[in-house]
Amino acid sequence: MDPDRFRQALRDLSPPGDSLTELVEGWNIQLLAAIDEIAPRRPLRPRRNRAPWFTEELQKMKRDLRRLERSLKNIL
Question: What pLDDT score does 63 carry?
Answer: 97
Number of domains in the chain: 1
pLDDT digits (tens, 9 = 90+) for 26-69: 888 888 888 888 877 778 788 887 888 999 999 999 999 999 99
Question: In terms of residue numbers, what domain contains 47?
Answer: 1-76
Q: Would the CA dihedral through 65, 70, 72, 73 be positive or negative?
A: positive
Question: What pLDDT score does 59 carry?
Answer: 95
| Residue length of the chain | 76
pTM: 0.45
Average pLDDT over residues 1-5: 78
